């Protein structure tokens, strides 16, 4: 994923006595107290959950940054935890269910992680690593580990773009990854710094995964160095293009990188738009690039892409069935009820004869845009999407993120979920009061303040149970969260927040 991390304080009290799908699965528990969820971390140190993944055996992985002490100094490292389906740490993995990686994440991008499933339940773990030339002359590069199903390292690779010219403009930060098993390729999206202040571009790197040894190497068939960039600079320089997600378009043999770009359009000149670059996998050529800058101007033009999924639709053209590529996009969009607020957003683009076009048949009206807020629970909220999944049977879409609101002067936040049909309609057979929405505060109540965030979402391919990873704040330190939710099974629960 991808995703933008927002740190905001929170609390809420709500009860539902008829809550079925979308509730915590209380059979998932490590300590027997926090049923349905687990919080990990040591007093005096921060620990975050940033990515979650479930393998074919129902084992759940959580990756993120943690702090530890070395000779009186606090350092950063990477944790990869593995849980069994009952919530217990998997003792066969690493040390007591955890493997640590001590090439530190870059502090400027320590919340961005990507976990991708490889062949035979192997795992690709990607993050932005800290690389220091000399002394304090440091920047971030992309680091990827390839692990087998037991946690043993098969190989690793560091990927620098280094296009900024000087060490302080060479931050290359990971956004997302997608593994392509038919090609033994791992495609990586990145936000790449350039020379000007605030000047970043979309980056993509393609890695060959050797089918015999598992060795990782940059794909020199994609380009001379296995990397390409794409940009939307309206003024030629100093424009911010932030990549956030990548998908594999198998019908066209391409990868599409999506993100957010500032283009200054709109009534208020605040145009921050959804943007996309499509590259041929065979030779790295830029096939298409487009943004929502061309949409009609409105009062609030803030659009922040969080995630994408690639879909293929069968279209009946007079009895002739053709396959059409589509991309469903999850984004944080301007609030429907209050222009100062933001909502969960969904939209869909379909590839026409030559270009990608917004699909007006997606969603409840003819705009092709869906917005969802959580005001029904909390009054006005700022709602931020973190990640999206399309369930394995392809019939439903799930979004995870954070709702933020003001509670008598205290900024509060809580983890939230929303579920939609494949057509972009809220699923009214799911969630609190059949609303299509679920709210699950997991942190301890702290003197009127409640602070947590859902950063990543995954689904068990066998049971279709939902898992989220994120973090919470206990008043002193940040802690890593894993939570498990009932999805498609009928399950009654008394939901007390």
Share of the chain above pLDDT 70, in %: 90
Using a CB cutoff of 8 Å and minimum separation of 24, what contacts does 183-186 make? 183/281, 184/208, 184/209, 184/210, 184/211, 185/209, 185/219, 185/281, 186/116, 186/124, 186/144, 186/216
Instruction: In whole angstroms, give the CA distance from residue 222 to residue 228.
Output: 9
pLDDT of residue 492: 35
Q: How many Cβ atoms sit within 10 Å of the Cβ of residue 477?
A: 16
User: In this predicted model, what pLDDT tens digit does every residue of 325-379 receive, in sequence order?
Assistant: 999 999 999 987 556 789 999 999 999 999 999 999 999 998 999 999 988 666 7
C-alpha of 210 from chain center: 27
Under 8 Å between Cβ of 214 and 200: no
pLDDT of residue 363: 96
Average pLDDT rounded to a whole number, residues 150-174: 93
Average pLDDT rounded to a whole number, residues 445-450: 63
Under 8 Å between Cβ of 113 and 88: no
Mean pLDDT of the chain: 88
User: In this predicted model, what pLDDT tens digit does every residue of 68-119 receive, in sequence order?
Assistant: 999 999 999 999 999 999 999 999 999 999 999 999 999 889 999 999 999 9
pLDDT of residue 394: 79
Q: Which runs of consecutive H residues, i.e. helices, occur in 352-489?
A: 375-378
User: In this predicted model, what pLDDT tens digit does every residue of 365-412 receive, in sequence order?
Assistant: 989 999 999 886 667 889 999 999 998 777 899 999 999 988 777 778
Confidence grade of residue 318 (pLDDT, cut at 50, 70, 90): confident
Question: CATH second-level architecture of 15-496?
Answer: 7 Propeller (2.130)
Average pLDDT rounded to a whole number, residues 215-232: 97
Q: Of all helices (H) and strands (E), which one includes residue 144?
A: strand 137-147
pLDDT of residue 493: 37
Under 8 Å between Cβ of 47 and 479: yes
Residue 236 has pLDDT above 90, yes or no: no
Does the global pTM surpass 0.85? yes
């Amino acid at each position: 994923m991808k995703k933008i991390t927002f740190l905001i304080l929170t609390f809420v009290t709500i009860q539902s006595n008829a809550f079925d799908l979308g509730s915590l699965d209380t059979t998932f528990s490590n300590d027997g107290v926090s049923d349905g969820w687990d919080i990990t971390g040591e007093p005096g140190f921060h620990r975050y959950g940033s990515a979650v993944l479930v393998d074919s055996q129902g084992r759940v992985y959580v990756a993120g940054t943690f702090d530890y002490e070395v000779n009186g100094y606090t350092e950063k490292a990477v944790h990869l935890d593995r849980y069994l389906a009952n919530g217990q740490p998997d003792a066969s993995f690493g040390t007591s269910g955890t493997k640590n990686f001590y090439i530190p994440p870059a502090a400027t991008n320590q919340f961005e992680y990507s976990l991708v499933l490889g062949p035979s339940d192997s795992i690709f773990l990607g993050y932005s690593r800290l690389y220091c030339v000399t002394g304090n002359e440091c920047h971030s590069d992309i680091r990827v580990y390839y692990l087998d199903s037991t946690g043993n390292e098969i190989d690793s690779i560091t990927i620098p773009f280094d296009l900024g010219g000087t060490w302080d403009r060479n931050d290359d930060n990971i956004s997302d990854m997608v593994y392509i098993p038919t090609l033994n390729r791992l495609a990586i999206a990145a936000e790449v710094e350039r020379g000007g202040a605030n000047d970043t571009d979309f980056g993509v790197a393609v890695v060959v995964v050797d089918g015999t040894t598992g060795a990782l190497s940059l794909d020199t068939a994609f380009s001379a160095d296995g990397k390409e960039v794409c940009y939307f600079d309206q003024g030629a320089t100093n424009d911010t293009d932030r990549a956030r997600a990548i998908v594999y378009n198998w019908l066209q043999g391409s990868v599409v990188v999506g993100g957010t770009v500032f283009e200054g359009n709109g009534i208020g000149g605040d145009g921050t738009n959804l943007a996309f670059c499509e590259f041929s996998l065979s030779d790295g050529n830029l096939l298409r690039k487009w943004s929502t800058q061309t949409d009609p101007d409105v009062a609030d033009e803030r659009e922040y892409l969080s995630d994408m999924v690639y879909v293929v639709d069968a279209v009946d053209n007079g009895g002739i069935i053709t396959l059409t590529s589509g991309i469903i996009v999850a984004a944080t969009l301007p609030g429907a009820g209050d222009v100062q607020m933001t909502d969960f957003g969904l939209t869909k683009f379909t590839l026409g004869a030559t270009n990608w076009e917004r699909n007006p048949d997606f969603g409840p009206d003819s705009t092709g845009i869906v917005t969802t807020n959580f005001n029904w629970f909390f009054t006005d909220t700022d709602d931020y999407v973190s990640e999206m999944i399309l369930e394995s049977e392809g019939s439903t879409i799930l979004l995870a993120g954070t709702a933020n609101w003001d509670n008598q002067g205290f900024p509060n936040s809580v983890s939230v979920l929303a579920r939609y049909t494949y057509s972009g309609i809220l699923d009214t057979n799911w969630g609190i009061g059949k609303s299509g929405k679920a709210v699950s505060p997991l942190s301890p109540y702290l003197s009127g303040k409640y602070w947590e965030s859902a950063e990543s979402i995954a689904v068990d391919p066998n049971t279709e149970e939902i898992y989220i990873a994120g973090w919470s704040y206990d008043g002193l330190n940040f802690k890593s969260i894993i939570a498990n939710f009932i999805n498609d099974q009928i399950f009654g629960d008394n939901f007390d927040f």
